[in-house]
Amino acid sequence: MNEATMKTLSQFKEMADDEKHDPRQKFARVKDAIEIYHVSRPTLMKMAAESGALYKIDATILINFQILDEYLETFRIPGVVI
């Protein structure tokens, strides 16, 4: 590999390392989930509540990614170009 290719691969690796959402991660706090899903807090809380993905432990609210992802798939519009 040439030097430019090595530099590009290195940059991609750094970007992947910076990614906040680990696919194996099952739960996250609301603040982290907002950053991962790129939606507003009210929208996220509404979707999480409707899907049953909210968990409350004392004062901490967690969102289950697996449940929320399954819920979001119900809004998928297959084969449509927007």
At 8-62, the pLDDT tens digits run: 656 656 655 555 556 667 899 999 999 989 999 999 999 999 999 999 999 999 9
Q: Per the confidence metrics, is the pTM higher than 0.75? A: no
Provide the 8-state DSSP code for 20: S
Residue 77's pLDDT is 86
* Comparison of pLDDT for 41 and 82, the residue scoring more: 41
Assigned fold of 23-82: Arc Repressor Mutant, subunit A (1.10.10)
- 17 to each of 13, 23, 34, 47, 81, how far by Cα in Å? 6, 13, 19, 28, 32
